[in-house]
Chain A
Amino acid sequence: MAAAVPGACWVRAVAAALLLGCCGAALAGGVQDQAEQFFRSGHTNNWAVLVCTSRFWFNYRHVANTLSVYRSVKRLGIPDSHIVLMLADDMACNPRNPKPATVFSHKNMELNVYGDDVEVDYRSYEVTVENFLRVLTGRIPPSTPRSKRLLSDDRSNILIYMTGHGGNGFLKFQDSEEITNVELADAFEQMWQKRRYNELLFIIDTCQGASMYERFYSPNIMALASSQVGEDSLSHQPDLGIGVHLMDRYTFYVLEFLEEIHPASQTNMNDLFQVCPKSLCVSTPGHRTDLFQRDPQNVLITDFFGSVRKVEITTETVSLDNDLAGFESNLPKDELATEPLKYAEQLPVAQIIHQKPKQKDWHPPGGFILGLWALIIMVFFKTYGIKHMKHIF
């Protein structure tokens, strides 16, 4: 008994010392954790490429899918200049649309996802496999306007969402061509080799969608699909007023999930993977994270869907270039005419009637006519012999 007490005291002291030590270590670890969190994802800007590949009125739901994702992505902060929206058909202005200029995503016409400020970059016949691959790889003709380009760099996180009709290993574009999973994987590899993305999230909502991400082999790609190989993705709800199905199930539940996300939320990718269980979706959604370097637990939803900027506040002033003051004097001066200008006549009938026909320059005969004449002359000489040339000259 007497020997136990000093032992207990000693144990208690050691325990206390250990506890203090642990606390200290934990505190230091906490600060480091926070600093680590700040630099967790290495991206500085966000891009989104949203593609609807289906044409015709009965594929209304694919356009509604894409537009709903577009709305969510805009709401979370990605500006129109960083979104490439490709819609293969114009449902809002379709003659069969009972409510023109609207595309609804909920039945009873609750939510108009077309709105007043949608910016469609590739519309109608421009949504082709070639244009899609050109957008991804950046091999675009120089005359393409800026809004149609994916100007990402090696610090961009890109969200790619595709919807339409698909099969085992392919996705149908506009009922006339397909893109295969091998082509897509090669396009992503080109993007990686050209350093066009930091991390890529690929979401596909089609039948047998999981086959599209089977062939990826570039790093930093995370993929989600609405159904496995051999399963069909189903549509959600028809609207009897419009007469077609308005949304697909997987996208509907993903959007319900995204409704709760705001720019500051800390929800991570694991929650997104749970989004549509088989009971709700009837198909089994799948995902692929083996190419992704970070743990999905640590990846925020807003890393891809939102445009969260990391801001550094500085208190020192930066002086701009002094030469800017003389910049305005370089504007060209307007040239003044010597006599007053006036408009031309709108319909100068007299001039039109009496104009001389334009003199066409004489060109020597070429092509077919030349060949015909050469044949005739050759036949003539063959028949009558060359000495008869004197009859001509």
Chain B
Amino acid sequence: MAAAAAALLLLLLAAAAGPGRVGAGRARRDALREELLLSPLPAGDVAATFQFRTRWDADLPRGAGLAVLLKAERLFHSSYHSQAVHIRPICRDASCLAVSWELRQTLTVVFDTFSSGQGKKDWSLFKMFSRTLTDACPLASQSKVYVDISPKNKEKELLEVTPAPASVYEAIVQGDKRTYAVYDLLSPSLFNTSRSLNVQLKWKRPQDTELPTPVLHAQRYVSGYGLQTGEISTLIYNTHPYRAFPVMLLETVPWYLRLYVHTLTIITKGKENKPSYIHYQPAQDRRRPHLLEMLIQLPANSVTKITIQFERALLKWTEYTPDPNHGFYVSSSVLSALVPSVIAMKDVDVEQSPLFTSLFPSSDGSSYFVRLYTEPLLVNLPTPDFSMPYNVICLTCTVVAVCYGSFYNLLTRTFHVEEPSRGGLAKRLANIIRKFRGVPPL
């Protein structure tokens, strides 16, 4: 699961700027494009990536197209879930003198079909989303479903996809040659046989569960307990066999974790690795978090460990959240890198397959841009016992009342003799009756 999630951390992207070429082709205004990419991960999970791109912000129509699959109860029943909104300027036409704005919404979900599918790794759209596709969105100019059917080890008959795809698309994704079966929801021939499209994938032979490791992946964890000892460690893996490349690491740590920058160590293959560029902005209490930005060279086939120690600060008691024992979150660190690819990639036309250019952008074919987010950390701060003020007030008031109060009573209480009253009417009547009975009076 962790391996699948790590693999997915790589598959997941947020490209801040597209490729550096001029004029991304002629695209019409008001064009909504929706795409769904399904990639089975070897451990049995399926990664589904939805993408909706539009030139102007159009509200996602709910009743048709791919949005029909977005039902919360199935989407949140998954191992991993990520949503992103990107807005970027793009060229309006080939001459690129004017700029239009592009809004891109992506949703990536990893379904664990193995554990929910009773031990079989076969999946279908209906099993994952409990719905099938009936037609394309009426506002969409393009509506496609891509299913990853890349053969491993050149074996062709490993899996079978039904219904048979109308076309097959090959792309080099992150240095790996992948084959996708394409279902175009706008083509009239797709819904000829049945009204709904339910893509199913069956594995013909049990395949090995070896996971191809991505070229760049990272992990972060926190160690140390108590007020003084704490350490944040980041591990960055470069699994490329012969190429080294730099990676930019950006960390923002909240002010209540006081970083000791003199303890920052970067170790690769047992030796110290000095970063090519380092920028550090210290935190100001309650105003600004720490900002640490480094450009680190990763040698080929290596693991780099970056550690920095910190000390926890005591917050004022009004600054604690209503559930402070849950812990406080430290946001993920961001790694940006231009990863060299093993296979040369050709330029992909933006018009034909917008999903691939935005999810896996590449500027010159030899490397692709990757932005990774590590896990967020949960750190326990020293939490005071919030019931103590109440306890102290009760205890001191009791002590004061008992000790001082009794002392005060002893000193100030005066005693005087009280005349027995003659009694009211009822008492006199009772006495008369008692006299008759011969009993002593009250």
- Which residues from chain A sit less than 8 Å from chain B, CB to CB? 55-56, 92-93, 99-102, 112, 114, 116, 125, 174-176, 334-347, 349, 352-353, 355
Interface residues of B in 106-165 (CB under 8 A from A): none
B167 within 8 A of A: no
Cβ B76 vs Cβ A341 within 8 A: no
B338 within 8 A of A: yes
Report B21-34 CB contacts with A as 1/0, cut-off 8 Å.
11100000000000
Roughly how many angstroms separate A343 CA and B277 CA in the complex, as a whole number? 23
Which residues of the partner chain B approach A338 to less than 8 Å between Cβ atoms? 97
Give the secondary structure class of A's interface.
loop
Known: A176-B322, A337-B99; 17 extra A-B contacts, CB below 8 A, are A55-B322, A125-B321, A334-B98, A335-B98, A339-B97, A340-B97, A342-B21, A342-B96, A343-B17, A346-B17, A346-B20, A346-B338, A346-B363, A347-B338, A349-B338, A352-B295, A353-B295
Number of A-B contacts defined by CB within 8 Å: 87
Which residues of the partner chain A approach B338 to less than 8 Å between Cβ atoms? 346-347, 349
Which residues of the partner chain B approach A349 to less than 8 Å between Cβ atoms? 246, 276, 295, 338
A376 to chain B, nearest CB (A): 26
Roughly how many angstroms separate A49 CA and B137 CA in the complex, as a whole number? 36
Cβ B337 vs Cβ A347 within 8 A: yes
Q: How many chain B residues touch A (Cβ–Cβ < 8 Å)?
A: 34
Most buried by B among A93, A116, A174, A347: A347
Interface residues of B in 378-411 (CB under 8 A from A): 386
Which residues of the partner chain A approach B73 to less than 8 Å between Cβ atoms? 99-102, 112
Cβ B20 vs Cβ A343 within 8 A: yes
B248 within 8 A of A: yes
Q: Which residue of B lies closest to A341 (CB)?
A: B96
B180 within 8 A of A: no
Q: Which of A93, A102, A342, A355 contacts B20 (CB 8 A)?
A: A342
Interface residues of B in 86-107 (CB under 8 A from A): 91, 95-99
Report B1-33 CB contacts with A as 1/0, cut-off 8 Å.
000000000000000111111110000000000
B75 within 8 A of A: yes
Interface residues of B in 285-337 (CB under 8 A from A): 295, 321-323, 336-337
- Which residues from chain B sit less than 8 Å from chain A, CB to CB? 16-23, 71-73, 75-77, 91, 95-99, 246, 248, 276-277, 295, 321-323, 336-338, 363, 369, 386
Most buried by A among B16, B73, B338: B73
Q: Which residue of A lies closest to B92 (CB)?
A: A334
Q: Which of B76, B321, B323, B336 contacts A347 (CB 8 A)?
A: B336
Q: Which residue of B lies closest to A125 (CB)?
A: B321
Q: Which residue of A lies closest to B368 (CB)?
A: A346
Cβ A340 vs Cβ B336 within 8 A: no
| Known A56-B323, A343-B17, A343-B20: A353·B276 in contact at CB below 8 Å | yes
B93 to chain A, nearest CB (A): 10
Cβ B322 vs Cβ A174 within 8 A: yes
Which residues of the partner chain B approach A344 to less than 8 Å between Cβ atoms? 17, 20
Which residues of the partner chain A approach B248 to less than 8 Å between Cβ atoms? 347, 352
Which residues of the partner chain A approach B75 to less than 8 Å between Cβ atoms? 101
Roughly how many angstroms separate A102 CA and B21 CA in the complex, as a whole number? 46
CB<8 Å pairs between A and B, sample of 26: A101-B73, A101-B75, A114-B72, A116-B72, A125-B321, A334-B98, A334-B99, A336-B98, A337-B97, A337-B99, A338-B97, A340-B22, A340-B97, A341-B22, A341-B91, A341-B99, A342-B20, A342-B22, A343-B17, A343-B18, A343-B19, A344-B20, A349-B295, A352-B277, A353-B295, A355-B277
